[in-house]
Amino acid sequence: MSESKQFICWEEALDQEIGKLLQQPPLPQEALPEFEELHLELSEAEDDSAGRSLSVQELRARISSSLRSSMALPDDVYDDTGVLLLGAGSLLTKRFLELLRQRGIHHVRLVPPDPNAPAPTSAAEPSPPAEPAAELHTAHSRKLDEQLAGELQRLVSLRPIKPWRRPRLSIDDLKGQAARGIEKHANVSTSVSELCDALQHGRTMSATELRRSVAQFVNMAAVDFDLLPMIVALQQSKDEYLYDHCVNVALLSVAMASQLGLHREQITEIGVGALLHDIGMLRVPLEIRMAEGPLTAREWHEVHRHPLHTLDMLSELRGIPQAVRIIAYQAHERGDGEGYPRRSSAHGLHTFARIVAIADAHAAMTRERPYRPALSPYEATKTVLMEGKANRYDRRLIRALLDTIALFPIGSRLALDDGSVARVLRANPDLHTRPVVEVLSADGSATGRMIDLAETPDLHVVRAL
């Protein structure tokens, strides 16, 4: 038996941990003291500038002594070469430790998460202070609140598409379609800008053109599920952030909805809702939208009102389905009740809005803003995963995001263990850490050499760049 068949490398092990994370119920309160105890024990391990060193055997003994099959990690876990094995907050299991032993990893380094890195609660924006939801209301939002109970009773059936059923173009055709998609992205961004300008000046408009554009996005997804995420990855426009962001969110939302097996009309409604969900930000003063430092309580109040401004603007738009209004109203809510404008919890959130919320957070994190640098697609995806564990997002829908863009999202650059650098071209559903990549030359240009890591067990990802 070859060496590659004798162990599961860290990428496959991480996939297993991701699967557990998405199925794991919230940690019960009685588990919290164990977390604190583990943090105390690990803090006593050998320390240096690279983190605290601990043997895999010691970790195994501590899990065994706790009479539990797993422990929550307070720190990031790296091997001696600097490869991230598990992120802080993940469950450390006996099975994972056995995989490390089989891999020949006998010591790990425990490094606290970077305090300067964006916290999970600040994925799309800085963490806001608490604010009474009752202060945020308009006539349109009150009417929608009355209608939401009935809307939430409508069953949304999720039927995730199996990997072998996902439509696929050849790599060359995929690249060609993506190049044409960049132009479509710019055109739709301009259309949203023109529509918003008209609404800002009080003119009643029709949503027909936007629906046509979203229908074209749905057609693209039907040709190849990887096409829309590739367009997002390749899009480099420096135009107004708001409009480009809305198009990016629409593309990711349509891709996720397609992966979830929703009907075409549902996917179109999600796409239109994503395209329009943030337009109310135009009524937030520019000095607040472009602020380079922390916002005051008053300024946060203005930001929290923007979904209500969006509802007001949508009232001037003909042909808008109810689902689009719900998406605009709830796209910034979170399952743990810490979102806005109503601080609604999971049971009060529409599935369509939950899809757009994840796409919005991921797209926002990967774009530079005045108050923070952009995260890499990998770091953004990792942050969404951790927020899913904290019940801020629906874990079934996080699975759809991973199936759509992979843990190393399309467009990411990866270092492989043969010394090469590659760019991700495709996701491999159910193998989130083993995408299809294209090897890059020393100057970063494409070489045309394609590698499907799912079919190349002896080649591994060392790190995301």
Four-point Cα dihedral 160, 162, 167, 170, nearest 10:
130
Q: List the pLDDT tens digit at each of the 465 positions of the chain.
A: 444 444 445 455 555 655 555 555 544 434 434 444 444 444 444 444 456 777 777 777 766 655 455 566 667 677 665 555 666 655 666 666 766 666 667 777 777 765 554 444 444 454 455 444 445 567 778 888 888 878 877 778 899 998 889 999 998 899 899 999 999 999 999 999 999 988 888 888 888 889 999 999 999 999 999 999 999 988 876 556 789 999 999 999 999 999 999 999 999 999 999 999 999 999 988 888 888 777 888 888 889 999 999 999 998 898 899 999 999 999 999 998 989 998 888 888 999 999 999 999 999 998 887 777 888 888 888 889 888 888 899 988 998 998 898 888 888 889 998 999 999 998 888 788 888 999 999 888 889 999 999 899 889 888 888
User: What is the rounded distance in angstroms from the CA atom of residue 126 to the CA atom of residue 120?
Assistant: 10
- Residues contacting residue 409 through CB under 8 Å, at least 6 positions apart: 229, 233, 377, 378, 380, 381, 424, 427
Q: Give the residue extent of every domain in the chain.
A: 1-116, 136-405, 406-465
- Residues contacting residue 88 through CB under 8 Å, at least 6 positions apart: 73, 74, 75, 76, 112, 113, 386
Q: Closest by alpha carbon to 178, among 110, 135, 234, 97?
A: 234
Give the dihedral sign, CA 142/147/153/155: negative
Superfamily of 136-405 according to CATH = Hypothetical protein af1432 (1.10.3210.10)
Residue type, 273: G
Q: How many CB atoms neighbour CB 217 within 10 A?
A: 29
